[in-house]
Structures are given as structure tokens and as C-alpha cells.
Chains A and B, each alone.
Chain A
Amino acid sequence: MDSQLSNDEIRRYSRHLIMPEVGLQGQQKLKNASVLLIGAGGLGSPLGLYLAAAGIGKLGLVDFDVVDESNLQRQIIHGTSTLGQPKHASAKARIHDLNPFVEVETYNTALSSDNALDILRPYDIVIDGTDNFPTRYLVNDACVLLNKPNVYGSIFRFEGQASVFAVKEGPCYRCLYPEPPPPGLVPSCAEGGVFGVLPGIIGTIQATEAIKLIIGAGAPLIGRLLLFDALDMRFRELKLRKNPNCPVCGSHPTVTKLIDYQQFCGIAPTSDGLTDEERITPRQLAGVMGAPGTHPFLLDVREPHEWEIVHLNEATLVPLNTLAGHFDELPREQEIVVYCKGGTRSAKAIDLLKNAGFHRIKNLEGGITRWATDVDPSLPTY
């Protein structure tokens, strides 16, 4: 149902209206358009703000996370005053402050194979601002099945990628990457970090492409992969082709409904392969360290710059990716407690140590982050 612009809206959008490429017609199209944002985080922040400012009629926000202090280095749709609030609610309030003419629908849920088609169906365009491979493949496949354009963006440290997957005309994410990396082979942003401005740049490119698709202006980023490197300050463009044998958008698709994406990405639910004897909680460790007698050898497998932020007394630093070269320096008779930031890298380290013949090893559950929460709140968390 088309609705006309009010006089207030005409005043608000005047800088669009006086450009022939947008004009009254284009602005009307924006008002009648609906866009779904998957994720209200780093990419979702500039996306939500610019799409709202541009006058998109309806924005959907899918996010079940809450605003954390460590988000505010880049997630500019949220603020210090909304710490602890659900991100969808924080983002909705900010969007309404920026532009009360935008209708905002929120979904306080993790997108899954069970709900994705129903959530995506009412929207014209889907924007992928997710932070993990299972959701990325889920969004891609759902968009192909529903024949909706998927405006893609992804970031790591100082590098970003963007493209538009619109399968009538071009390739999809699976044409680019048929299969996800096995877990652990590509570092996450929490391990690798992310330059705060980067999602601002990539998210703004995604917003640009969404607006262009709606008003039908310019050359869309279909069949092209835009690469951005903030350190070199270089944009590059690679050709993307539709894979005729693509399992989801090819001529003989083998994926015709949504699958189990956790399994597809090789993520086993909550299993780190450790036995109960190989785990120790921060409180248990604090008890042992506070008692007289021989203390366990504390092995920190994070990176040196993380060690500089915070580390445990008596600990020894050997980053996970150099561990294999330092087995000789570790005690074989003494108990070893391995820790990292959250407990994932240390679990991998334990795997390596076991294969190297170490027996008395324990993983500090929840890492130094949980130590700071449960044992020593004076320590910084990051």
C-alpha cells in the first residue's frame, strides 16, 4: 500500500528530493520499502542509522544480544546510557529519535532454520550484518529460497568485504565460498580484534547499496566483491561469478530447504572435548593458589598484547600459535592450568599438550574474564 509523503517528510528529505536521481519518486520508494537488518552490532549500527535517516519506511532488527561496554568502540547506534539493554531496543530508540517516521519491528531472537523464512518473508531487502558463519550461510540460503536481495558485508581487523547477492542476476555467498572454514581455523573478531571505524565504512557501503537497489539508481555491487583495507587505505574490486553448480542457487540445487547450519559449519554444541577432570573453575583455582604447597604451573596462551592488558600472577605466557615450539620449557611433573580470555584457545592448547604427552593439565573455565568476575573484580576485562 503506497502512502504519500507528508509536508513534514518533504521538509526532512529535501536534500534527497532536489536530486533528480532520488527525487520525489525515489523518496516515495524509500518510504514504501522494508529492509531487514540481521544484527544490530558493528555493521548494523551505521546501517540502522543511515537507513533510518534516509527514510526507509520499515526497518526490521534481528538481535538477541545486550549492549556491552566493549561494543561502544564501534557500535555507534548504542550508547553509554543504554548499556545492559537489549540491542534491538537500544537501536529502536535511537532510530526513532533520529527519524520518527520509520516503523521499526524488532525480533529478540537468534535467527534459526526454524524462524528465518518467516522473519525474512515480509521484507524487500535483507542485510547481512552477522558475526558468524552459521548465520551467514543461513541468511544466504534463506534469501536465495525467498528470492530476496542480500546485501553482504563482513569485517576482520582492518579489512572488510562487501557485495550484493541477488540471485536473479548474480551469484550468492555460496558461489563465493561453497563451504565454511572449520571452526578454529579462522580467528574470530574477539580473538583477532576489529578496528572500530571499519564496520562504519563497510556498513555504510551496505546502506548505500540497499538504498540504490530501492530507488533503482546507479550500478549495484552485484557480481562484484569490494575489498577494503583500512591500513593501506585501498579499495579493490574482484569479479564474482555465479557458480552454475552452486548447491543453492545453481541450475540443479541440492539445498532446497534450510539445513542445520551449526552442523554445516562443524560446530558441535558446547563440546570442547574436555573431561571433567580437565576443567577447573576460577574459584577452585583461587583456592589452590591461596593454599600453601606447590602451586600449579599457570600457562597463559593469549597474545602478548592481551597479556599487557591483564594477566594472572605467577603465570607464564606462551601464545597458542607458538606453543608447539615450547613444550620443552613446560613442566611434565607439575600440574599445568591453561587459560586464555574465555576458555576456547586454552581448550585447543590442552589438545596440543595432550598429544605431546602431557597428562596433568586443566583448562581454566571461562578464562581470565571469569576469573575477573568470580575471583578478582579489580582486574580489567576486555
Chain B
Amino acid sequence: MATRISIPTALRQYAGNNSSVSIEAPTVGAALKTLTAQYPDLGKHLFADDKLRSFVNVYVNDDDIRYLDGETTPLTERDEISIIPAIAGGNAKD
């Protein structure tokens, strides 16, 4: 069974405009690697020097992976991964 990764609006344009992508992987890190191999542009937004960017949080179900086992957090088939980047909505000038 594949794990569902939900892609936030702000990053969908780099993921083929998908709102979620299903990936079979044993850990969060492996799932993200497969995802970014599939969508290299998304990789640039999620990782810098192979490290998850600090304004992008990754959750397994409702828990931040920083408080689980990070990218080695194991996945089971019912788990859902959420990518939650910082957003700053309003009326900033273009």
C-alpha cells in the first residue's frame, strides 16, 4: 500500500498540479526522495543541500517529524504525509 503525500497549494505547480501523490516507501525520507525524483523542481523547494528547508514542515498524520524520528520515521500503510510550508497571505505588492 502506498502512502499519500498531500502537496500544499503553494507547491502544487512544481508537482504536476497534483494535490496529493501516492508513493510506496518504508520511511518519510525515502518517500520524499522518490517524490522529488519524480518532480525535481519540487525538490529545490523542499531541500537545500540535501536538508529539509527550515520553512517547510513535514508531518506524519498530525505529528511533526522533528518530534518523531525525522526523515527515518517509518511509514505504515495508513499514514498520511503532509508538507506544510510557511505562508504569509495578504496583499504584498507583486
Contact = CB atoms under 8 A, between A and B. Distances in A.
Range of interface residues on chain A? 35 or more
B62 A238 contact: yes
Interface stretch (A90-98, A180-188, A329-337, A350-358): A180-188
A133 B88 contact: yes
Contact of B62 (A129, A136, A176, A237): A237
Interface string A222-255: 0001010000100011111100000000000000
A154 B87 contact: yes
B88 A130 contact: yes
B13 interface: yes
A239 B63 contact: yes
B92 A131 contact: yes
B94 A186 contact: no
B63 A342 contact: no
A159 B87 contact: yes
A112 interface: no
A110 to B, nearest CB: 13
Interface string A22-51: 000000000000000001011100000000
Contact of B94 (A157, A176, A177, A367): A367
B89 A194 contact: yes
Contact of A158 (B9, B63, B93): B9
B90 A181 contact: no
Interface of B is mostly: loop
Contacts of A198: 89
Interface string B14-55: 100001000000000000000000000100010000000111
Contacts of B10: 156-157, 159, 186-187, 192
Given A238-B64, A238-B82, A154 B88 contact: yes
A65 interface: yes
A160 B88 CA distance: 10
Contacts of A176: 57, 86
Given A159-B87, A238-B59, A179 B54 contact: yes
Interface in B67-94: 67, 82, 84-94
Contact of B64 (A130, A161, A241): A241
Contact of A132 (B53, B55, B85, B90): B90
A130 B19 CA distance: 26
B53 A181 contact: yes
A321 B59 CA distance: 27
Contact of B87 (A129, A161, A241): A161
A199 interface: yes
A227 B91 contact: no
Nearest to A344: B94
Interface of B: 8-10, 13-14, 19, 41, 45, 53-55, 57, 59, 62-64, 67, 82, 84-94
Given A190-B92, A227-B82, A239-B64, 19 more contacts: A42-B91, A129-B90, A131-B92, A132-B92, A136-B88, A159-B9, A159-B87, A160-B89, A161-B87, A177-B55, A179-B54, A185-B45, A188-B94, A189-B90, A190-B93, A191-B94, A232-B19, A236-B62, A238-B84
Interface of A: 39, 41-43, 65, 70-71, 129-133, 136, 154-161, 176-181, 185-192, 194, 198-199, 225, 227, 232, 236-241, 321, 340-345, 367, 369
25 contacts: A42-B89, A43-B90, A65-B91, A131-B88, A132-B88, A155-B87, A156-B10, A156-B87, A156-B88, A158-B9, A159-B8, A177-B86, A181-B53, A181-B55, A181-B86, A186-B55, A186-B87, A188-B88, A188-B92, A189-B90, A199-B89, A232-B19, A239-B67, A241-B64, A345-B94
